[in-house]
Amino acid sequence: MIKKFRIGKPFDTKAVTAEIQEEKISAFPLELSQEERCVVAFELRGEDMIFGLGETVRGINKRGWIYESWCSDETEHTEDKRSLYGAHNFIVVSSKDKKFGLFVDFPGKVEWDLGYSNPDKAKITIDGNNVDFYYIEGETERDIVKQFRQIIGKSYIPPFWAFGYQQSCWGYSKQSDFISVRDNHRANNLPLDCIYMDIDYMDKFKDFTVNEELFPDFKSFVSDMKAHDIHLLPIIDAGVKKEQGYSVYDEGHKKGYFCKNPDGTDFECGVWPGIVGLPDFLNKDAREWFGSQYKTLIDMGVDGFWNDMNEPALFYSTKGLDKAWEKLDKLSGREIGIWDYFGMRDTFARLQNSMDDYSSFYHNVDGELVCHKDVHNLYGAFMTNAAGEYFEREYGREKLLIFSRASYIGAHRTSGIWFGDNYSWWEHILLNLKMLPSVNMCGFLYCGADLGGFNNNVTGDLLLRWLALGVFTPLMRNHRALGTRAQEAYQFDNTQDFADVLAVRYRLIPYIYNTFRRCADENDMMFRPLAFDYPEDKLALEVEDQLMLGEECMIAPVYEQNKSGRVVYLPEPMTFVKLSGENITSTKLSEGIHYVEVKLNEVPLFIKQNKKIPLAMPALNTAGLDMENLDYIS
Ligand code: GLC
C-alpha cells in the first residue's frame, strides 16, 4: 500500500511514473515539521534496521551513521564520508512489528541522520519545503521494494553483450593500445567483450570528437574491433569545452543551452578540457540537443557510452579561481604565518565542487530560472536520461549500452550506474558487495564497481578475489586510473588463474542474464541482504558480507588479504560450489557456520536446496556463447 503526501509545489524530478492520489498531510504517519526545511523523524527501537540509500558508504544496515543525498565527485570512499555519486532517497525501515518504505522525492540536499545524533531516532532533513513523500507499507522488505519499484517504472536493460567481461583503463590512448589489449586477452585465452575509451580518445577532451592523429580512420577501427567481437565504449563528460569553432560549444552557447550566471552569461568552470560550459540538462531543449550529439559517434559504429563528471564535478569555477588569485596576491611577497599558509593551501583545495559555485548558477526550466543548488541531484540523471531517451527513440530498446556516474532515482529507467573511483583496497571489495542490494532497491540493476580498484596499485590476489565477486555483477568491468599499476588479467604470471575465473563469468551468463531480465520485468532485486529472506533468523539479520542472488543462491566472496578461505553463515542447508574454468566441485553443507576454503582461481557459490543453476560452456565472448546447450548444477 502506497501513500503519497505532498508539501508545497515540488519540482518535477521525473522519478515516479505512476499516478498516485495525494493524501491529506495531516495523515502523514511519521513525525513531520514543515518549517523552512521539512524534517521527518521516527523512533528507532532496539532491533530496528534501515536498508537503502543506494550508493553510499558503510553497511547494508544503514543505521548509526549520517548520510547526505548530494551527488558528489568523491574520490575517497571512506567511512567518514556522507555522500558518493548518487542521490537515492529511498529507505526501508524494518521493525519486528512494522515495516515501511519511505521515498523522499526532492532534488536538493537531504540529510539522513539515522541514529547518529541520537541512537534512538531517525531524523531526515530536507533542504527545502517543496517535497513529495511516498510512504509504503508491506509484509516484507522485498514486497515494499517491489511496490516502490512499480511506481518508479521498469529498470533499464542493456544489450546482451554488456554482460560480457570488459576492460578499461584511463590511459589507453592510441589505436595500438586497444589492439594490444584485445590481442593479449585472446592470446592468453582470456574472454573479453568490450574495451573502454577514456578521455584520451577525444580531441583535447572535447565531447563527441575523436583525436584524428591517434585514430586516422575511427570508423574502420570501430568496425575492425567489432569484427573481432570487441565493442568500444567511449566516455562522455558533462562539461563542453569552451572553444570557438568547436561546433558543440558554439551551438550550445548560441542557443543558450549552458547553465547561466545571474547576469545571463554562461557559468564557466574548469574540468578536464580546461574551461567548459555546463549543458543545462534541466532545460528540455538543451537535453534533447545534447542527447542527439551522441549520434556523431553512433554513426561511426559505437554502440555504448559511459557518462562521467556529471554530479557535476567542478575542479574550479572561473569566478572562484579569480577570488583565489586575489587572495594569493595579497599574501605574495609578505612574510606569512602558518595559518596564512594553511589558508592559502585550502583556498585552492576548496575550489573543487564548492557549494558557493553550486549556489551561483542557474537552470532554465520552462522559462523559469532555478538555482542549481536546489536541483543539484538531478543533473547527472538528466544528462543520462538525455542520452538514454534519445537512444530508445532513435535506435530502440536494448540496443545501446549506457551507464552513468551520477544518478537520481528515475535514471534507472534509461541507464545503469557504476560506483565511481574506488581504490585497490581489500575493504572496497566488501563495499562493492554492500552497495549492490541498496542500489537494486532503487531500480539500478545494471551496475558494478571498478574491479581491481580505480586508484592505487593493485595486486594479483586482490584482483582475482574482486573478479570472483564481479563474476556476479551485471556490469563486470576492470578499470584503473592513469599512472596506477597495470591490471589487465594478462599482466600477472598466474594468467591461467585469471582465465579460470573469467571463464566462470561466461559459464554463468545464462543465469545472470535471465535473473537480471526477470528482476527488471518483475521489479525485483537481483541481490538481497540475507535479512530480507530470513527475517526470523537472528544471525542472518546481521550478515554484512554475503548476499542472496536471485531465487537460487547466495554469494560470499573472499575479501581479505592472505586468506585461503572464509567463514560463511548458511541460514539453511546449501550446496557449496566452487567453479574454476570448466571445473566444478560441490559439497553439501548443513545450516550454520562453516569455514570454506577457496583458492584464488575459484569462484564460490552457494545453491539453495531444490534449486539449480544453468551453466554454459566457457566462451571467449558473448557472441560465442552457446545459450542452448546448458548443464545444470544443484
Ligand atoms: C573520473 C572517472 C574515471 C575516469 C576519469 C578520467 O575520475 O570516474 O572513471 O577514468 O575520470 O576520465
Average pLDDT of 584-596? Answer: 98
Amino acid at site 195: I
In a domain, 281, yes or no: yes
Q: What is the Cα–Cα distance from 584 to 577, expressed in whole angstroms?
A: 7
Q: What is the pLDDT of residues 273-317, one digit of tens each?
A: 999 999 999 999 999 999 999 999 999 999 999 999 999 999 999
Protein residue whose Cα sits closest to atom 5 of ligand 1: 170
Closest CA to 257 of 270, 275, 276: 276
Instruction: Read off the CATH number of the domain in which 218 is found.
Output: 3.20.20.80
Q: Which residue has the cell 519545503?
A: 129
Q: What is the 3-state secondary structure (H, E, C) of 30-99?
A: CEEEECCCEEEEEECCCCCEEEECCCCCCCCCCCCEEEEECCCCCCCCCCCCCCCCEECCEEEEECCCCE
Q: What is the Cα–Cα distance from 356 to 274, expressed in whole angstroms?
A: 20
CA of 450 to the centre of ligand 1 (A): 10
- What is residue 163's DSSP assignment? G
CA of 170 to the centre of ligand 1 (A): 7
Q: What is the Cα–Cα distance from 281 to 240, expressed in whole angstroms?
A: 12
Residues 194 and 145 occupy one common structural domain: no
Atom of ligand 1 nearest to the CA of 481: 10
Protein residue whose Cα sits closest to atom 10 of ligand 1: 170
Amino acid at site 620: L
Atom of ligand 1 nearest to the CA of 405: 8
Band of residue 344 on the pLDDT scale cut at 50, 70, 90: confident
Atom of ligand 1 nearest to the CA of 482: 10
DSSP-derived pairing of the beta strands 38-43 and 450-451: unpaired
Q: Grid coordinates standing for 270?
A: 574548469
Q: What is the pLDDT of residue 472?
A: 99
CA of 238 to the centre of ligand 1 (A): 12
Average pLDDT of 225-231? Answer: 98
Q: Grid coordinates standing for 206?
A: 572535447
- 605 has pLDDT over 90: yes
Q: What is the pLDDT of residue 48?
A: 97
Do residues 286 and 259 make contact, with C-beta atoms less than 8 angstroms apart?
Answer: no
Do residues 426 and 105 make contact, with C-beta atoms less than 8 angstroms apart?
Answer: no
Q: What is the Cα–Cα distance from 406 to 434, expressed in whole angstroms?
A: 18
3-class DSSP assignment, residue 117: coil
Band of residue 530 on the pLDDT scale cut at 50, 70, 90: very high
Q: What is the pLDDT of residues 161-216, one digit of tens each?
A: 999 999 999 999 999 999 999 999 999 999 999 999 999 999 999 999 999 999 99
- 381 has pLDDT over 90: yes
Q: What is the pLDDT of residue 599?
A: 98
Domain count, the chain: 3
φ and ψ at 104, to 5 degrees? -100, 105
Residue finishing a domain among 508, 523, 546: 508
CA of 372 to the centre of ligand 1 (A): 23
Q: What is the pLDDT of residue 88?
A: 98
Do residues 299 and 392 make contact, with C-beta atoms less than 8 angstroms apart?
Answer: no
Residue finishing a domain among 449, 476, 508: 508
DSSP-derived pairing of the beta strands 165-167 and 194-197: parallel
Instruction: Read off the CATH number of the domain in which 108 is found.
Output: 2.60.40.1760
Mutate which of 271, 308, 450 to test ligand 1's pocket (most atoms within 8 Å of Cβ)? 308
In a domain, 261, yes or no: no
207-215 CB contacts, 8 Å cutoff, 24+ apart: 207/236, 207/237, 207/240, 207/241, 207/248, 207/293, 208/236, 208/248, 208/293, 208/294, 208/296, 208/297, 209/246, 210/297, 210/300, 211/173, 214/173, 214/174, 214/175, 215/175
Tell me which residues have their CB closer than 6 angstroms to ligand 1. 170, 198-199, 235, 308, 405, 420-421, 479
In a domain, 458, yes or no: yes
Q: How many CB atoms lie under 10 A from the CB of residue 198? A: 21
565-568 CB contacts, 8 Å cutoff, 24+ apart: 565/595, 565/596, 565/597, 565/598, 566/595, 566/596, 566/598, 567/593, 567/594, 567/595, 568/593, 568/594, 568/595, 568/596, 568/606
Q: Which residue has the cell 537520481?
A: 408
Mutate which of 73, 170, 196 to test ligand 1's pocket (most atoms within 8 Å of Cβ)? 170
In a domain, 248, yes or no: yes
In a domain, 359, yes or no: no
DSSP-derived pairing of the beta strands 362-365 and 368-371: antiparallel
Residues 72 and 107 occupy one common structural domain: yes
Residues 182 and 298 occupy one common structural domain: yes
Mutate which of 454, 455, 484 to test ligand 1's pocket (most atoms within 8 Å of Cβ)? 454
CA of 235 to the centre of ligand 1 (A): 9
What domain range is 105 assigned to? 2-152
Q: What is the pLDDT of residues 65-80, one digit of tens each?
A: 999 999 999 989 999 9
Q: What is the pLDDT of residue 522?
A: 98
Residues 120 and 199 occupy one common structural domain: no
Q: What is the Cα–Cα distance from 318 to 333, expressed in whole angstroms?
A: 24
CA of 529 to the centre of ligand 1 (A): 30
In a domain, 484, yes or no: yes
CA of 479 to the centre of ligand 1 (A): 9
CA of 198 to the centre of ligand 1 (A): 7
Q: What is the pLDDT of residue 477?
A: 98
Q: What is the Cα–Cα distance from 403 to 400, expressed in whole angstroms?
A: 10
Instruction: Read off the CATH number of the domain in which 570 is found.
Output: 2.60.40.4040
Residue finishing a domain among 102, 120, 152: 152
Residues 148 and 185 occupy one common structural domain: no
Do residues 16 and 134 make contact, with C-beta atoms less than 8 angstroms apart?
Answer: yes
Residues 482 and 559 occupy one common structural domain: no
Q: How many CB atoms lie under 10 A from the CB of residue 1? A: 9
Q: Which residue has the cell 540475507?
A: 530
- 102 has pLDDT over 90: yes
Band of residue 364 on the pLDDT scale cut at 50, 70, 90: very high
Average pLDDT of 599-611? Answer: 98
Residues 558 and 498 occupy one common structural domain: no
Q: Grid coordinates standing for 593?
A: 557456520
Amino acid at site 560: E
Average pLDDT of 114-134? Answer: 98
Average pLDDT of 356-378? Answer: 97
Do residues 144 and 99 make contact, with C-beta atoms less than 8 angstroms apart?
Answer: yes
Residues 134 and 188 occupy one common structural domain: no
Closest CA to 40 of 167, 108, 126: 126
Q: What is the pLDDT of residue 332?
A: 87
Average pLDDT of 103-114? Answer: 98
Q: What is the Cα–Cα distance from 406 to 10, expressed in whole angstroms?
A: 21
Q: What is the DSSP string of 322-389?
A: HHHHHHHHHHTTS---HHHHHHHHHHHHTTTT-HHHHTT-EEEETTEEEEHHHHGGGHHHHHHHHHHH
- 97 has pLDDT over 90: no
Average pLDDT of 457-467? Answer: 98
Residues 472 and 587 occupy one common structural domain: no
Band of residue 398 on the pLDDT scale cut at 50, 70, 90: very high
Q: What is the Cα–Cα distance from 236 to 205, expressed in whole angstroms?
A: 9
Average pLDDT of 327-331? Answer: 89
Q: Grid coordinates standing for 102?
A: 519511505
Residues 6+ apart with CB under 8 A from 238: 271, 278, 279, 307, 308, 309, 310, 312, 313, 379, 380, 383
In a domain, 57, yes or no: yes
Atom of ligand 1 nearest to the CA of 75: 7
- 41 has pLDDT over 90: yes
Protein residue whose Cα sits closest to atom 4 of ligand 1: 170
Atom of ligand 1 nearest to the CA of 420: 8
Residues 482 and 556 occupy one common structural domain: no
Residues 497 and 542 occupy one common structural domain: no
Q: Which residue has the cell 595486486?
A: 459
Residues 98 and 184 occupy one common structural domain: no
CA distances for 277 relative to 72, 241, 266, 272, 364, angstroms: 19, 6, 7, 12, 14
Q: Which residue has the cell 543539484?
A: 376
Q: Grid coordinates standing for 451?
A: 574491479
Closest CA to 589 of 544, 553, 547, 536: 553
Q: What is the Cα–Cα distance from 603 to 172, expressed in whole angstroms?
A: 29
Protein residue whose Cα sits closest to atom 3 of ligand 1: 421
Report the half-sphere exposure of 288 (CA within 13 A, side-chain side).
Answer: 5
Closest CA to 311 of 238, 451, 406, 206: 406
Average pLDDT, the chain: 97
CA distances for 104 relative to 67, 128, 378, 413, 563, angstroms: 14, 12, 14, 18, 42
CA of 480 to the centre of ligand 1 (A): 9
H or E stretch at 104: strand 99-105
In a domain, 339, yes or no: no
Radius of gyration of the chain (CA): 24
CA of 308 to the centre of ligand 1 (A): 7
CA of 195 to the centre of ligand 1 (A): 15
- Percent of the chain residues topping a pLDDT of 90: 97
